[in-house]
Amino acid sequence: MNAELQADRAALADTVRRFAENEIAPNVEAWDDAGEFPRALYTRAAELGLLGLGYPEAFGGTPASYSLKLPAWIALARHGKSGGVLASLFSHNIGLPPVVLHASDPVRHEVVPAVLCGEKIAALAITEPGGGSDVAALRMTAKRDGDHYVLNGEKTFITSGMRADWITVAVRTGEGRGAGGISMLLLPGDAPGLSRTRLTKMGWWCSDTATLHFDNVRVPARYLLGDEGAGFRMIMGNFNGERIGLAAGALGFAQACLDEALAWSRERKTFGAALIEHQAVRHKLVDMQMRIASTEAWLEAVSAEGDAHEAAGRFNAPEWVAQVCMLKNHATQTMQFCADQAVQILGGMGFMRGTVSERIYREVKVMMIGGGAEEIMKELAARQLGWL
């Protein structure tokens, strides 16, 4: 890694740390109770350049490699200490890339700048009530009617689903089933016929999550992203960035658990000694650090490899996609282990609202399922490695 990149990473990580410590972490409990965080946080994140990180300058963004974005993602998780905030505040990072890559130029200029400056919220709608990870089996239809598409069906588990202003939706424009008939459409959030139902969750309480209902929703054909039938490949390519982001977040949350557990073990006394003086506790902390270190090293390697592939125009190199899938599993398993060990070290306090580890413990499973469940990741990795 060259000195310029190292300096940029350090400066960005410091900016993100201060933002997370000052403007996110102190408010998380109140936002969880409210079930949402203020929309003003989008504007603040945009002012710091965080919403536009990785997007073209023409739309108000700042181009950035995986390696540059990595410390920002980790710091937001470690110091913000809330997956719910990050999920909704950065839901555009899964909803907007298909627009940037595949929309017409007028549509890109209509949509992207307003999202990156924090005025509008973008979301992605893929999952259906009966579909889950089986994207090729989605059933929601979009029938062409003149210069519009007419949408009918449902999407569920949609992050930022209650207040998204723009929703990138996977639909079936072709006949029958399978990947070939899937397309992507961009939907204005105020479209007549669209209704939303809020969902309550185990964790991520301040992230609004919804089921979306489409009843003859008319969408102008100019909001078609790319060509009809090309949606499945867009979705699969979009997953790579999402999964690296999830892995980075999982690492940051694991570090937050270790931070709290280590501080607690130094302060808490049992049987006349600080917890850290007991071998069993020290060993738990070392086990946490061991998994964190391996995750961090792998994440750095996969990010650097991804940058190299993109520079060479190999955006979905099979061997790299396999690494992303396995990394996502490894990172979320590290988060799971560290959250569990931290709660155990904190004892009764680890079960109490207000501790970082209690919140992260509740958020583990969504990280292990979102962006592709563990089982799907293993199967995809095996296929990308040519084992089947």
Query: Which amino acid, 133?
Result: S
Question: Which residue type occupies 224?
Answer: L
Token reading at 348: 């009764």
DSSP per position, 27-41 = GHHHHHHHTS--THH
8 Å CB contact between 385 and 322: yes
Structure token pair of residue 40: 């003003």
User: What's phi and psi for 194, nearest 5 deg?
Assistant: -90, 125
DSSP secondary structure letter of residue 53: B
In the 8-state DSSP scheme, what is residue 232?
A: H
Task: Give the integer Cα–Cα distance in Å for 1 and 150.
Answer: 50
Determine the Cα–Cα distance for residues 68 and 73; give it in Å rounded to an integer: 10
Residue 207, phi-psi category: left (phi > 0), alpha (psi -120 to 50), beta (remainder): beta
* Structure-token pair, residue 277: 């003086």
Residue with tokens 């449902």: 154
Q: CA of 359: how far to CAs of 263, 378, 384, in Å? A: 17, 27, 35
d(C-alpha 198, C-alpha 35), whole Å: 10
Residues with a known catalytic role: 242
The pair of structure tokens assigned to 241 is 């960035």
